[in-house]
């Protein structure tokens, strides 16, 4: 049975160029912090990769801090900015986030609230999943002297809504408030230029663009002070101590550079597949409801997210999987936890609808055959999932 992979938003296959570079560098030895020849050679690989990635992201090489991925980068930014600005001015205890942030952006704010006296302020979104700029503006005007950092993801990982990052920055800039953005889903799918964005910091992850898992970056403005999470070595501007991953850095730069270079034609290719898939799902499953904005500038071209009313999401996923079609109920980082999508709830959907979703995400290996395979089995998967949903409905609960 052939496998049709439609979960690229969770992770995407490594690009051949990145895999080749990665394997070749793994065969070499050398700690980039060592002063002997092997160490200097490893350091050269890291710095060359830093320059390549900085060019792809529209940043200066000194602004790029290597991390293990987007989760670490988000934690470094939110905690580091909060601690640094709160220490400078104890009044700055507010962390402002959107209601649809990835758990890697939402949970650090909640943890700081529980453990370090912060106040996590959640800005609502509209029915399309776009952050409410009027609510954000009102929060900033009323509490600007108390805000440590604002964080709004560039593009949502579940339903693909592209957020108005530039408008968010404009609101914050009037009061000198730094803005962080989780750009993990945006890089390689949208034009991302850190220098032109006005952001204070930005998170990136290699494996979303065809690089290896476990490598990412936090792009941090050079004039910005962050309190580090880790200590011991002073690497990466003393923001992130630890032995640098030369092979991972090289492969990340190669993969992201290739994705960015092919951005425009790939947007067109994936956008055509996206629009076709949306139309065909609507034809085959009449009650299906698209989540997020319509295809266009406000939506990632690789994201298709539907609510299938009455269908148990996990049942749908398992039926599709049994036919060789791999998709997701939403964010992979919450897999295994049976709960409605916080993103859909924030958009005003009911708990029932937020528990009946599927995300089909496209990537650089996606083909017409993948779309055809999904559409061929989806009606049956939805029908079976609705049977499971009826059995699990509260009115069908009974005591033994």
In the set 333, 352, 377, 383, the catalytic residue is: 333
DSSP 8-state assignment for residue 161:
B
Q: Encoding tokens for residue 150?
A: 């604002």
In a 3-state reduction of DSSP, which class is residue 212?
coil
**Cα(99)–Cα(135) distance, integer angstroms:** 12
What backbone torsions phi and psi does residue 351 show, to the nearest 5 degrees?
Answer: -60, -35
Are 131 and 97 spatial neighbours (Cβ–Cβ below 8 Å)? no
**Cα(295)–Cα(359) distance, integer angstroms:** 15
Of 175, 109, 181, nearest in space to 139 by CA: 175
Strand ranges (E), the chain = 4-5, 64-67, 94-98, 119-123, 147-151, 179-182, 201-205, 216-220, 289-290, 303-307, 325-326, 357-361
- Clarify whether 333 is annotated catalytic: yes
DSSP 8-state assignment for residue 294:
P
Neighbours of 283 (CB within 10 A): 10
Of 269, 384, 245, 276, nearest in space to 323 by CA: 384
Are 71 and 51 spatial neighbours (Cβ–Cβ below 8 Å)? no
Of 330, 240, 282, nearest in space to 9 by CA: 330
**Cα(308)–Cα(37) distance, integer angstroms:** 59
Residues tagged active-site: 333
């Amino acid at each position: 049975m052939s496998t049709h992979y439609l979960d690229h938003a969770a992770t995407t296959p490594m690009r051949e160029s990145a895999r080749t570079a990665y394997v070749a560098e793994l065969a070499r030895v050398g700690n980039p912090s060592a002063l002997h020849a092997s160490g200097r050679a490893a350091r050269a690989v890291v710095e060359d990769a830093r320059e390549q990635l900085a060019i792809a992201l529209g940043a200066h090489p000194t602004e790029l801090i290597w991390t293990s991925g987007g989760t670490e980068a988000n934690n470094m930014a939110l905690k580091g900015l909060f601690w640094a600005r709160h220490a400078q001015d104890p009044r700055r205890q507010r962390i402002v986030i959107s209601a649809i942030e990835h758990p890697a952006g939402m949970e650090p704010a909640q943890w700081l609230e529980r453990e370090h006296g912060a106040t996590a302020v959640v800005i609502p979104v509209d029915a399309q999943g776009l952050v409410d700029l009027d609510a954000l503006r009102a929060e900033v005007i009323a509490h600007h002297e108390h805000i440590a950092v604002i964080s709004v993801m560039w593009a949502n990982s579940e339903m693909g809504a592209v957020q108005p990052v530039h408008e968010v920055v404009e609101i914050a800039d009037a009061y000198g408030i730094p803005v962080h953005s989780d750009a993990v889903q945006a890089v390689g799918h949208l034009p991302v230029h850190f220098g032109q964005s006005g952001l204070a910091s930005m998170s990136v992850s290699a494996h979303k663009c065809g690089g290896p898992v476990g490598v990412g970056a936090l792009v941090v403005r050079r004039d910005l002070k962050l309190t580090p999470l880790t200590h011991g070595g002073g690497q990466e501007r003393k923001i992130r101590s630890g032995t640098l991953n030369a092979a991972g850095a090289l492969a990340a730069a190669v993969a992201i550079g290739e994705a960015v270079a092919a951005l425009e034609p790939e947007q067109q290719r994936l956008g055509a597949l996206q629009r076709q898939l949306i139309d065909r799902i609507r034809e085959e499953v009449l009650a299906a409801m698209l989540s997020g904005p319509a295809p266009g500038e406000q939506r990632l071209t690789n994201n298709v997210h539907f609510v299938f009313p009455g269908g148990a999401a996990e049942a749908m996923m398992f039926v599709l999987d049994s036919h060789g079609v791999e998709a997701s109920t939403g964010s992979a980082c919450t897999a295994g936890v049976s709960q409605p999508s916080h993103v859909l709830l924030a958009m005003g959907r009911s708990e029932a609808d937020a528990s009946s979703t599927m995300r089909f995400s496209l990537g650089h290996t996606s083909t017409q055959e993948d779309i055809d395979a999904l559409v061929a089995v989806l009606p049956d998967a939805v029908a079976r999932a609705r049977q499971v949903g009826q059995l699990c409905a509260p009115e069908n609960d009974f005591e033994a």
